[in-house]
Structure 1
Amino acid sequence: MQLAGHKHRHCHTATRPLTRRSGGTLLLLNCNCHWNAENSFSVEFLFAQPNDGVGLDHRCPRAVHQLCRRANGSALRVDNGKYQEDISQRHSLLSAALVLPLQLDWLKAHNASHELHNVTTADGYQLQLQRLPRPGARAVLLVHGLLGSSLGWVCLGPAKSLAFQLHQLQYDVWLANLRGAYPHGRQHIELTDVMDEFWSFSFHEHGAYDLPAIIDHMAEVTGSEQQSGEADREAPTRQVLLIGHSQAFNAFLVLCSLHPRFNQRIQLMQALAPLSRLHRQVRFDAAQVRSLMKFVKKRQKSSKFELFPPGYLRKLCQRKHEQCEYYTKQYAGSAKSNKKLLEAFNYEHLLQGGSAREIKHLQQIWKSGDFIAYDYGPMQNMKIYNGVEALRYNLSRISVPTILYFGETDAIATPEGVHAIYAQMMNSVRSVKRIESPKFNHFDFLVAGEVKTLVNDKLIELMEKFLEGKLSYIIE
C-alpha cells in the first residue's frame, strides 16, 4: 500500500517506512517543526521499531532524506535526526503531522488487506479511518472512547483483537478515529493541534459532527462499490453495525438525538462499558473529582490544551510505578487474567489525548445528574441553546436496538450506571450483559488477557443472533 505525503498548511510530510543499516524497518511517528530564536528552522522526528505489537523502541536514524519539506519544496538537510535550515521568516510553531499509524504496519505484517480513508467533518476536522475491506459484507464500525484511538481495536493482534476477529468472520470492518485521537484526528482545515480552538470539543462534537461524517462516508464508499459491481448488489451495506467503548456511547446518543435519520442507518449498537448520567453511579468521590479538575485547570493555565500527550502516561508510570499501578487497578483494569496491568501504557497511542472540555463536560454531567450538553453558562447558553440552561438531549428519539455490556468491578461504567441507562432506554435496549469475570474494569474491554473469550466471542454471538432474529431479551 502506498501512502501519499500529508500536506498541512506550511509543512509537507512524506511518510514512509525506512530501512536501517542494521536491518529492520523504522516507521515515522511524529514530526514537529519549530522556529527558534536564531531564525533556524528545525524538525524533530520520533521513530519506532515495531516489536510484534508489544512495546515501542524509540530511536532516530543517523540519516533521513527529504522526509519533511517546506511548502515551497526546498529540501531540509538532516544531522543526527534533526533538519535545520536558515530562513527569513519566523513562526511560533508548526505541527507537521505524521500519517503512518503503527496499526497499519501490524495489519500489513499479518497480511490483512487494509485501506485508509480521509473524512472532513462539517466544522473542518480532518479524520483518518482504517478499513479492513470486504466489499458486499455487513459493515461494522468500531468507535473508541475517551483517551483512545483505533489502536485499541487491534493492539492485541489477530489472536485477540476484535477488529481482526470480525474481519476473519467476513465482516467489512471500519475503525473510527474521532477528533483529538493521535495521530489520526489531529488535522483541521484551518487550525493546528497547538491551538486552544482545536481542543474546544467534547463528546458532543464527536456525535454531532464526527460520526455523521464517518457513517456518511462509509455509505458513499459501499454504495459506489455496489454500483461498480465490486460488491453483491443485494448485500445490506448501507446499514452499519456499531460497536463503541466507553464515551463512544455518549457520542452515539448525541448522534441519534440530534440527527434522527441515523436511527435508520444504524442496525445495532453494542456498547462496551457505556457512560451516561454518572451521578451516584461511579466509584469515585467528590474529592477525587476536584483533584482531577485541579489537574485540568493547571494544564489549561500552562497553555497545554491536550491533557495527556502521547507518552505522558507511560513516562508518569515509569517515575511513579506504584502510584500508577494503584490508580490503574482502581479505575482502568483489574481483570484476573490481565497479568501485565500496566502494559497498556507502553502503547503511546492507546491512552492519550483528551481535551479539558471533555473532562469538564463529564464533570458537569456527574454534578447535574442529567445527560446534558456542555454548559457554557447562562449568557453563552442563550446564544447557543436559546435558553439559560444547557440542552438536555432527547433520548426518547433513539430507536436503535442496543446491547449494553458491563464489568463487575468497573469504577466508571458501574453495574448500577449501566442498569440506569437501561431504565432510561427500555424501548431500545434489547439486552444487558455482565462480563463473566469477578474482576473486570473499564479498559479490560480492550486489553484484558482473555478479552477474546470474555468479550469478543460473546459480542459476536449476540450480534449474529440479533441479525438472525433470535436474540433473547435478557437483563443481567
Structure 2
Amino acid sequence: MASSQYVTKIITLLFCVLGGQTQLTEPGLFSAIRRNFTQLAEQAGLPCEEVQITTEDGYILDMFHIPGDKGHPVLLQSGNFGTADDYMLRGNTSLPYVLWEAGYDVWVGNVRGCRYGRRHVSLDPDRDDDFWNFSFHEFGVYDTPAMIDYILNRTEAKTLSSIGWSYGTAVNYILGAEKPEYNDLIDCIISLAPIAYLHHSKPFSALIPIAPLFFDTMIFMDQNEVFGENSTEITSLRNTCSTPTVAHEMCLTLMDLLFGSDPEQIEAEFAPKIFQQFPSSTSRKNIMHEWQTLSSKRFAHYDYGPEENKIRYGSEKPKEYDLSKNKISIFLISGKNDPASTLADVALLKPQLPNVVEHTILKPKNFCHLDFVGGRDTHKRLYEPIILPILKKYNNNIKQEANKP
C-alpha cells in the first residue's frame, strides 16, 4: 500500500509538471529570484571567493571559498542532485556562516555535471556524450581529491576536515576505499545523514518498479543529462513547486515523502527557496548507479553487465567498495525522521567503517533529511552544539580566532 502511494504521488506530480499547470505563473518570475552561491553568501554578509579547479580527467569545477584561518580548512560536500547552494539556504544561520564565524577557512565544493560543474578541458556538455559518462564513483575518485589537493596547496595546511551531507557522505567513503592515501590528509569526516546503503529507504525503494521505464525512455531519447538547468522539465518543476497551485501542494507532499516531514523546521513558505536551488543537473549514469545501489542492496561500483564487469572488475558482479580502508576518524549524525538515510541503513554502514568515533542520533523526533541544511533551528540543534566541538578537537589544534561580521 505504501509503495503504491509513493508511485502514485510521483506520477501525479509528473503530470502536473509536464501537463501545463505551470502556466499559472509568468515564465520569468522564477529566474528573477534565483541566486547563485556568491549572491547567497553576500546576502548573508559573508566574504566569498569563487575558484576553479581541474580534475585529473579534465572536468572544471567551481569551488567557493569563505576566507578564515588558513590553519583551519573545512571542506563541505553537497548531496546528489545538489550544489554548494544547498548549504546557504538559511543565510546567516547556515553551516558555512556558523563555521566562518567560528574562525574556520570554509570551502564549499561542487561535483561534475551540476550547474557549477558543466565544463571540461576538451568536452562540450551540450554536444559530447562522453562528458556525461560518470556517476557518483567519479565524485569520490576524481572530484574530491582535486578539491582536497587545491585546498591544502592553497592554505599550506597539512590536513583538512570534511563535512558531507546525504550523498556527499558517500563520496568520502569512496575516496577512502579507492584512494586510501588521502586518509592522511583528512583529520576527520563528519557525515550528515550518511548514505551508502539504501536497503530500508521505503520511498526510494518504491521507485524500483518504474525506474527501468524511466531509463529506457532517456536512452531512447538519447538524454544523458538529467535535470538540465535550461530544460523544459526543470523549469516547469521549479515554477510549479515555487508558486501557490494545486501542483505546488503536491510538490510539498512529495518532498515530505522522499525526505521526511518537519513543518516546524521546513515551513511551507520556505519550500520555494529550496526549489530555487534543488535539484541541479546530473548524468543519467549517476541516477542509474544510485538505482543499482537500491535494487542490488550493495554499495558497489557501477554495474556494466556480466561481460564488461568481468573485463573491468574480474567478476560478473561489480566489486563492492572496501570501506575497511577508511582509516579516518568518522562521525555519523542521523535524524530520526529521515527516509533517505534511515537508522537501519546507517546501522549496516557503521560496522564496515573501522574508525567511527561516534554515531549521534539527533533528539528531535521529526528531524528529517532536509533539516541538516535547511532546518530553521539547525544551527542551534546541530551546528553549534555538535559540529563545532568536533572540529575544535580534531581540526589541527592550533590557535583559532573567530571571524566577525
Shared fold per TM-score greater than 0.5: yes
8 Å CA contact 1:293, 1:360 repeated in 2? no
- The aligned residue for residue 147 of structure 1 is 81
CA distance in 2, matches of 1:327, 1:357: 24
Shift of 1:193: 2.0
- In structure 2, list runs of 5 or more residues that go unmatched: 1-26, 398-405
Matching of residue 422 in structure 1 with residue 350 in structure 2: yes
Shift of 1:459: 1.8
Matching of residue 307 in structure 1 with residue 226 in structure 2: yes
Q: Which residue among 379, 382, 403 is the counterpart of 1:452?
A: 379
Distance of aligned partners of 1:294 and 1:331 in 2 relative to their CA distance in 1, 3 Å threshold: same
Shift of 1:169: 0.6
Q: Which residue among 107, 116, 134 is the counterpart of 1:201?
A: 134
Shift of 1:135: 4.5
Larger Rg: 1
Q: Which residue among 166, 170, 182 is the counterpart of 1:250?
A: 170
| CA distances 1:129-151 after superposition (whole Å, capped 9, x unpaired) | 11011243310000001111011
Matching of residue 170 in structure 1 with residue 90 in structure 2: no
- The aligned residue for residue 52 of structure 1 is none
1:39-438 pair list within 5 angstroms: 57=32, 102-158=36-92, 160-182=93-115, 184-194=116-126, 195-223=128-156, 237-279=157-199, 281-284=200-203, 286-310=205-229, 311-312=234-235, 313-317=237-241, 318=243, 320-335=247-262, 336-340=264-268, 343-344=271-272, 347-425=275-353, 427-438=354-365
Count of matched residue pairs: 360
8 Å CA contact 1:325, 1:342 repeated in 2? no
Shift of 1:444: 1.9
CA-based RMSD of the aligned residues comes to: 2.4
Shift of 1:165: 1.0
CA distance in 2, matches of 1:277, 1:428: 18
- Which structure shows the higher strand fraction? 1
- The aligned residue for residue 462 of structure 1 is 390
| CA distances 1:241-264 after superposition (whole Å, capped 9, x unpaired) | 000011112111111111111111
| CA distances 1:158-189 after superposition (whole Å, capped 9, x unpaired) | 1x11001101111000010111121x111011
CA distance in 2, matches of 1:346, 1:259: 34
Matched residue SS, 1:372: coil
- The aligned residue for residue 38 of structure 1 is none
- Which structure shows the higher helix fraction? 2
Distance of aligned partners of 1:300 and 1:208 in 2 relative to their CA distance in 1, 3 Å threshold: same
| CA distances 1:347-398 after superposition (whole Å, capped 9, x unpaired) | 4333222322222112212222221100101222233223332122111111
Distance of aligned partners of 1:187 and 1:337 in 2 relative to their CA distance in 1, 3 Å threshold: same
The letter of the residue matching 1:180 is G
Name the % identity: 27
Structure 2 length as normaliser, TM-score?
0.82
Shift of 1:446: 1.2
| CA distances 1:210-233 after superposition (whole Å, capped 9, x unpaired) | 01111011111112xxxxxxxxxx
Matched residue SS, 1:174: strand
Matched residue SS, 2:350: helix
Shift of 1:109: 4.2
Distance of aligned partners of 1:103 and 1:47 in 2 relative to their CA distance in 1, 3 Å threshold: farther
Matched residue SS, 1:257: helix
| CA distances 1:269-311 after superposition (whole Å, capped 9, x unpaired) | 00111111222x2123754322244334323432332222334
The structure with higher relative contact order (CA 8 Å, sep 6+) is 2
| CA distances 1:330-352 after superposition (whole Å, capped 9, x unpaired) | 11242232212662565433322
Moved more, 332-341 or 438-447: 332-341
Distance of aligned partners of 1:332 and 1:370 in 2 relative to their CA distance in 1, 3 Å threshold: same
Distance of aligned partners of 1:156 and 1:277 in 2 relative to their CA distance in 1, 3 Å threshold: same
Distance of aligned partners of 1:105 and 1:376 in 2 relative to their CA distance in 1, 3 Å threshold: same
